[in-house]
Amino acid sequence: MIDSRKGGKPLGGALLDVLLKRTPDRRPMWFMRQAGRYLPEYRAVRQRAGSFVDLCYNPELASEVTIQPLRRYDLDAAILFADILVVPHAMGLPLKFEEGEGPVLGTVRSLDDLNALRPLVGSYEVRQVCETVRLTRSSLAHDKALIGFCGGPWTVASYMVAGGSSDRVDAKLAAFRRDPWFVALIDRLVVESIEYLVAQAEAGAQAVQIFDSWAGDLIGDQLQEFVLDPISRIVAGVQARVPGLPVIVFARGIGSHQIKAAALPGVNAIGVETELGLDEIDVNVALQGNLDPVALLAGEDVARREALMVCAKIPKERHIFNLGHGIRLGTDPAVVGAVVDAVRRSEA
Ligand code: 1CP
């Protein structure tokens, strides 16, 4: 899949070029949370779908919102529209999103809770998500990459322990104590995440990103054991079954430890948080990031200036332009467009 060619160009365009260390014809660019409530066309589809969860499992509508940002902007990649909490949901935990309050998820706080979960393979949820991947791939232009994703085990576990968004203190406590149920939960999430990413790749995702948004909670042995080792096992497990599948690791907030994330075998790029300059780390893989999403709230002039400063730090051969975290609610779509145009013009 990743090497098939059409029109003389490799499938997947500039994004896959940078991930696979080929020379891209332009700086690849996409935005975390590029589909979402800041776009009026997203809000319209979301209303038709009913709830956010209904939208995630409606392949026609999920595929539509996956593609919407590429209709508006000259981007290089679409990211599958789903959520990191699809994994625990597909394992049997109830999930809903309360308006304005974020996710409400069933909890896992013991070995009994963990053992009650089912494997996600073959679940309704995963079948629907994979159908979204197939539909989206079949309607995307050949030079646009389709990115699949899952959450990092630490981040997903933190939601499972708390039953939703939290300060992650209960998960941290379990990590410090190495509670056997928590260690087993992380191991289980490694296994299920491998299955989930392999299913997405087989359905047509050409690269995958692991979102460990709360990785910066941990340091030292805990960072190694609950963030870096599990991610490393996922990368190895996925690439054993889908050889050469490019992987982007977004372990947000780990600062100088990004060097360790970049050195994990099989990793093709790391996503870097806004707080760390792209010229402050010396690694052998591509860097993705890291415009501050807050800069997009500051108007077109500021956003353009900051975006060009990010690009000035790194050549396009090693860079995937993105934000340091997701687009914020309240972002003006015109400002996103101004950033895309500025990055494109700077290379002309
Ligand atoms: O319709 C809506 O308004 C719901 C808002 C929304 C959206 C658009 C949520 C709720 N999730 C998503 C989609 C989503 N989530 C995508 C796909 C589309 C894209 O990027 O364009 C992805 C990759 C995610 C990943 C995700 N979900 C993360 C990791 C990335 C990050 O932002 O740190 C996390 C932590 C979640 C959990 C989540 N999903 C949604 C909410 C409100 C939350 C909780 C966030 C928190 O605890 O702060």
Secondary structure of residue 306 in the 3-state scheme: helix
Say how many Å lie between the CA of residue 5 and the centre of ligand 1: 33
Mean pLDDT of 115-129: 98
Question: Containing domain of residue 167, as a range?
Answer: 5-346
**pLDDT (0 to 100) of residue 10:** 64
The pLDDT confidence band at residue 28, using thresholds 50, 70 and 90, is: very high
Tens digit of pLDDT for each residue in 239-274?
Answer: 999 999 999 999 999 999 999 999 999 999 999 999
Q: For atom 3 of ligand 1, which residue has the closest CA?
A: 37
**pLDDT (0 to 100) of residue 348:** 66
Secondary structure of residue 157 in the 3-state scheme: helix
1: pLDDT strictly greater than 80: no
Contacts of residue 342, Cβ cutoff 8 Å, sequence gap at least 6 = 304, 307, 308
Say how many Å lie between the CA of residue 189 and the centre of ligand 1: 18
Tens digit of pLDDT for each residue in 279-308?
Answer: 999 999 999 999 999 999 999 999 999 999
Tell me which residues have their CB closer than 6 angstroms to ligand 1: 32-37, 46, 52, 79, 81, 83-85, 97, 102-103, 149, 165, 211, 213, 326
Any idea what the CATH number is for the domain that residue 118 is in?
Answer: 3.20.20.210
Contacts of residue 326, Cβ cutoff 8 Å, sequence gap at least 6 = 31, 32, 33, 36, 293
Count of domains for the chain: 1
Say how many Å lie between the CA of residue 83 and the centre of ligand 1: 6
The pLDDT confidence band at residue 96, using thresholds 50, 70 and 90, is: very high
209: pLDDT strictly greater than 90: yes
Q: For atom 43 of ligand 1, which residue has the closest CA?
A: 102
Q: What percent of the chain has pLDDT over 90?
A: 95
**pLDDT (0 to 100) of residue 347:** 84
Mean pLDDT of 65-70: 98
